[in-house]
Amino acid sequence: MNSPLFFYHALTMLPLAGFAFYDYRHHRIRNAALLAFLPWCLLYIPLACSFCSWITFPVILLHCAMGFLSGFLLLFSVSLATNGGIGGGDIKLTALLGIPFGASGLMEAVALSCLSALIHLGIRKACKRKPAGNIPFAPYLFFGCMAVTLLWTVP
């Protein structure tokens, strides 16, 4: 990954940290905040096109569209399967993150997010000996996206 795109992904962690903190405290992600985050995610398209030829513009659009759809459909299907176990804000946030991360990067981030959530729930259950209850997913999504961003920079 070239340095301007890495810088873009690193800056993406700032609003994502805000989402994670708010979700941790209030167990919700506001639609107005997601709407404000949308232009930042869409900025990835011209930024990625500026570092390659315009011939690859359709490929970049496909990359972003597939990331958006895969993020939305994955968490939406999990929400349907668990009777609302995943909230609508998490679904929309993951779909938006699919734009800059693409389908493969987003699936890596979601896999790491789910793994960290499962580990945290296991530790919490082992220590407190009671059911975990509802957990906010945005903090785990933050750590998953942070890990993927850092892993992409390793040569």
Domain ranges of the chain: 3-153
Range 110-116 average pLDDT: 95
pLDDT recorded at residue 139: 95
pLDDT recorded at residue 111: 96
What is the C-alpha separation between 62 and 77, in angstroms, rounded?
22
Range 69-77 average pLDDT: 95
Confidence of residue 134 (pLDDT cuts 50, 70, 90): confident
Q: Which residue has the tokens 């992409």?
A: 152
**pLDDT surpassing 60 at residue 155:** no
Question: Could you tell me the two tokens for 104?
Answer: 């493969």
List Cα–Cα distances, 16 to 13, 57, 117, 137, in angstroms.
5, 26, 17, 12
| Burial environment of residue 43 by CB neighbours within 10 A (0 to 12, 13 to 18, 19 or more) | middle
List Cα–Cα distances, 15 to 66, 139, 151, in angstroms.
22, 12, 20
Range 99-117 average pLDDT: 95
Question: 101 and 48 in contact (C-beta within 8 Å)?
Answer: no
* pLDDT tens, residue by residue, 9-67: 999 999 999 999 999 999 999 999 999 999 999 999 999 888 777 678 889 999 999 99
pLDDT recorded at residue 82: 86
Q: Which residue has the tokens 């000996």?
A: 129
pLDDT recorded at residue 125: 82
Q: Which runs of consecutive H residues, i.e. helices, occur in the chain?
A: 3-26, 31-42, 44-50, 57-81, 88-128, 138-153
pLDDT recorded at residue 124: 83
